[in-house]
Amino acid sequence: MDKRPETRVPADIPVRAFGMDADGKPFFEKAVASNLSSEGAQLTRVQHSLKIGEIIGIQYGDKKARFEIKWVKPGFLPNTVEAGLFLVSGQTVPWAEETSESQKAPRVVARGSDKRKFTRHKVNFPLTLSFAGGGRSHMQCAATDIGGRGCYVESLVPLPIGSELMVTFWVDAEKFTTKGVIRASDPGVGMGIEFTELPGQVQQKLQQYLETIDKGFASSAGQGT
């Protein structure tokens, strides 16, 4: 049976790429995906060396998938590379809504306030992770991506999916602790944590605080150029 040609969407979307680079070292960085389809994309602005045949992860928004690197070439920008990505069998591309947009009308889903989407901020945010039973010591770390409903913490040995823990953080002078559950575990890279018992008003407070931090970083960067 002839395979139907893939529809390509000529959009540039911000993504995060993670996995092992060509030197066998874990990496985690921002990049851009373009020429999107339901089977792959072109990855650009990657600052780590990549290896053909390697499997890496790509995150867009709160969705992730694994892709095989089909080709690699020098990027247009200095010290960057570009790569052709092909979706690993059994996965769904994180940008599925973008590639199916021309086939069906946009769908609006009503959600309760507890399911409100919060923008994730890529800032270094100090956290303390603790565990029930006292059999494991507390972890002082920093989230590299955080919002009102969860965060991502880099770790070479992440916890298994479904693991439960307590997350403690400070917003200005206030200390907050919430139960968390590991929802994503990427060996050699890190883990995604969902805040499962953080009250709505605290989620909003955290979100506003993160937005203030992000704007402060952007302002400082602008002054430094």
pLDDT at 117 over 70: no
Predicted local confidence at residue 87, as pLDDT: 93
pLDDT at 4 over 60: no
**Residue 76: band (very low, low, confident or very high) from pLDDT cuts 50, 70, 90:** confident
Contact between 42 and 49 under an 8 Å Cβ cutoff? The reply is no
Predicted local confidence at residue 220, as pLDDT: 47
pLDDT at 154 over 80: yes
Q: Going from the N-terminus, what domains does the chain have, and what CATH number goes with each?
A: 13-99 (2.40.10.220), 118-224 (2.40.10.220)
**Residue 65: band (very low, low, confident or very high) from pLDDT cuts 50, 70, 90:** very high
Coil, strand or helix: which one is 214? helix
Predicted local confidence at residue 165, as pLDDT: 93
B/e letters for 127-162, b = 16+ CB within 10 Å, e = fewer, are: bebeeeeeeeeeeebebbbbbbbbbbbbbeebbeee
Which tens digits make up the pLDDT trace of 171-201? 988 999 999 999 888 777 788 899 999 998 9
Share of the chain above pLDDT 90, in %: 35
This prediction has a pTM of 0.51
Q: Which helix (H) or strand (E) holds 29?
A: strand 26-34
pLDDT at 218 over 50: no
Q: What is the end-to-end Cα distance of the chain in Å, rounded?
A: 56
Predicted local confidence at residue 176, as pLDDT: 94
Predicted local confidence at residue 13, as pLDDT: 86
pLDDT at 90 over 80: yes
Read off the DSSP letter of residue 27: E
pLDDT at 222 over 60: no
Q: Which residues, 6 or more positions from 104, have their beta carbon under 8 angstroms from its beta carbon?
A: none
